[in-house]
Copies of this chain bind each other. A is one copy, B any other.
Amino acid sequence: MQSKRNKEWSETYKKVNHSLVEERKALNFNQEQLALFLWDGEEKLEKHRQLSKLYTADPILRNTHHYYDMTREEKMECGFKKLNRMAEVLPEKITYDTVFYHVTTNLGAMPTSLHHAMFELAVRYLGDEEQVDKWLPLILDYKIIGNYCQTEVGHGSNVRVSDSLTIGHRTTIQSEYVIAIYNYIIFSIQLFWQGLETEAIFDKEKDEFIINTPKNSSAKFWPGDLGVLSTHGVVYAQLMIEGKNLGVQSFMVPIRDIDTHRPLPGIEVGDIGPKFGFVAKDNGYVIFNQVRIPRRNMLMRYVNVDKEGKVTPQGNPKVLYSVMMFTRLQLLSGCVAGLGKSLIASIRYGIVRKQFKTAAGKDGKPEERKIIDYQTHLHRICPQLANNFAMAFATRRMYQLYNDMMSNIKTKNDFSQLGPMHTILSGMKALFCHTAYEGVKQMRECCGAAGFSQFSNIPNIIDAISSYVTLEGDSVVMNIQTARSLLKSGRKVIQTGKPLNQLLSYILDLKVILEKGKDFKCEAKDADFFKSEQNLLDLLKWNALLRIGQSLQLFADPKYKDFSLWEKFNEKFQIDLIKMSQAHSYYMTAQFFFEGINHFEKQGNCSNLVKHLRTLFRIFALNHLTKIGAPLAISKYLSPQQFRQIHQQLLQEYTNIRPQMLNLIEAFEYDDNTMVSAIGNYDGNVYERLLEWAKSSRLNEKDTLDGFDEYIRPFLAAKL
């Protein structure tokens, strides 16, 4: 029942820590089925296995722990070398798929990850046919290398809402308020990039655009792959024709000379310096001084500008969103992979590491306890394990929805799913990035000092995912986006009794709460109620709906009638909005997890496996109910006593899942070439490896460090 790779490993590795061996022997479900699900089907799993072997066998693609000790430049060089090799040996052309596989299984960033994940995608989706035909082959062969050049030093997540929207505006009667919210939502979506200051001025004479950075704050700042690599960028700028600002469009702008790799005339470009994480990426800045590009370098799939400067929309400009959406989706997967790897390390280490003689040995004498068997340790790891499976199921569902949406857009010009997808994905992006980062941090702490050593790999994972909360949409801003649509949907339900969209149909049940009023109480008879997944899912639903109802009430409350809509949104109720969005995202995630398990079961999958997944579902739901369940308490839907029962049930579930934790997480099949972890490798020989790798520290290479002889040695007494 072991998955294929785990089986191979158990046969290959000779000296394996005996506690790990024992826990693996206890495997009681079909691990292969789980691996198949986690890798999204046979084909992808097979590809993963092949690539994993290829990476491990190849002397250049293979990871080593020396990576952790490299300088920024060395890490980058290492990336260059690997990229070159990948182009040589990988069975297929490198695309954004490869990037994702590479960055989640490799130690460092891939030099051209943004080139693929955003530049390539921008061209694919925003270029018209002729443009795609022209540029895509160059991109895929690295004849040009590009970036996605949007953020400016002065404006990141900014939405500069149209000045014409009156701001002193008071909401006195409900219908006005509805309209105002609606406007706010529409404006903010359509004008998402209006804060940008970079200009693209049309010069009819020469049939060119002039790209220009008007002031300091408009310098482009942060794009990845821009600092030292890019020859081109897809630059977002205000389209100016005959003095009129026609909104933000994207432009293919050459940045460095292909021959010399020097910046082109009028362009100042460079790396922005060291960062908290993302060490191996060259996030850059660029300043344009009247840089001329041909008119046809504007990406024209959805908006055409002809020779005369005539602008013709040809489709829905909202599609600009789809690129960001795809990257956000990839971030969701990145969260699952990052947290997953840190869980593998911490679970293995937790089983191998023993501290304190507090366990009963076979002969009745006290034995040292595996640290994972301390209740607090389970309380840190199990919820994260559950989070990771929940995120994995939800992410898979999101990809399906995204693919459906994109094919509708491309084939039927049907944009109806864009809004709801945006609503769900924004909140989920915020939630997952936060969850993964917190989770990885906790796994680090679970490993004590060993998790603090780079050799655990955990700091390297933090390096990779720590920026997720900010990039591709700051979490707060993302949650606000989601919150706005929820308000709108809630309002629609109340007014028309219909959901805004099938994906958000749960909001229909808002009416149940309103109808029941004071009688809205949980019908749980006893603690067993909290053992049912359906009940737990419903609790999360009511929790989200209570938040939505409360927010609607706040906005309509005459007590606040003297506050403008801006004040309400930004000063009075913003915290409520964020909490509403979060409660919604927890529910959506749980829903997708729940449905996924049911679907999985229907396919005739191993009943033990389904049992474990249900346990993980319960841990996910119970844990979050104790954390974000305030609305259920405040509305008295649940009593304090019931919260206590929820907590007790949660503790019980830890014990249920404990024996299979290792086998569940190992179904991800991350090999040692991915883990490269002194404490989290397959064989669990942690102390030997910690010592051995320590000895290889580069500080130990030299007899004396620079500066020692000059500044320190003079102090030391020659003779004592």
Contacts and interface: CB of A to CB of B under 8 A. Distances in A.
Interface of A: 68-69, 71-74, 76-78, 80-81, 83-84, 87, 111, 138, 141-145, 151, 153-161, 163, 165, 167-168, 195, 216-217, 219, 221-222, 227-229, 231, 258-259, 261-262, 270-278, 282, 285, 355-360, 364-366, 368-369, 373-377, 379, 444-445, 448-449, 451-455, 458-459, 462, 466-467, 469-471, 474-476, 564, 566, 569-575, 578, 630, 633-636, 640-641, 643-644, 651, 687-688, 690-691, 693-700, 703-708, 710-720
How many subunits of this chain does the assembly comprise? 2
Contacts of A165: 366
A700 B228 CA distance: 8
Contacts of A274: 68-69, 453-455, 697
Contacts of A365: 163, 167
19 contacts: A80-B711, A81-B710, A143-B717, A156-B448, A158-B356, A161-B358, A165-B366, A221-B449, A228-B708, A258-B716, A270-B695, A272-B694, A275-B452, A275-B454, A358-B566, A379-B575, A630-B643, A634-B643, A635-B640
Contacts of A368: 160
Given A155-B355, A217-B687, A358-B566, 11 more contacts: A144-B716, A161-B357, A168-B364, A219-B691, A227-B699, A271-B699, A275-B453, A356-B570, A359-B566, A375-B573, A452-B470
B156 A364 contact: no
B379 A449 contact: no
Given A153-B690, A375-B571, A711 B81 contact: yes
B470 A445 contact: yes
* Interface residues of A, dominant DSSP: mixed
B276 A462 contact: yes
Interface centre among A74, A444, A574, A715 (most CB of B within 10 A): A715
Nearest to A167: B366
Contact of A564 (B360, B569, B693): B360
A705 B375 contact: no
Nearest to A141: B715
A272 B453 contact: yes
A716 B694 CA distance: 40
A168 B270 CA distance: 67
Nearest to A564: B360
Contacts of A454: 273-276
B705 A77 contact: yes
A635 B161 CA distance: 48
Contacts of A696: 273
Contacts of A698: 72-73
A53 to B, nearest CB: 23
A258 to B, nearest CB: 5
A364 B167 contact: yes
A258 B640 contact: no
Nearest to A463: B276
Contacts of A76: 699, 705, 707
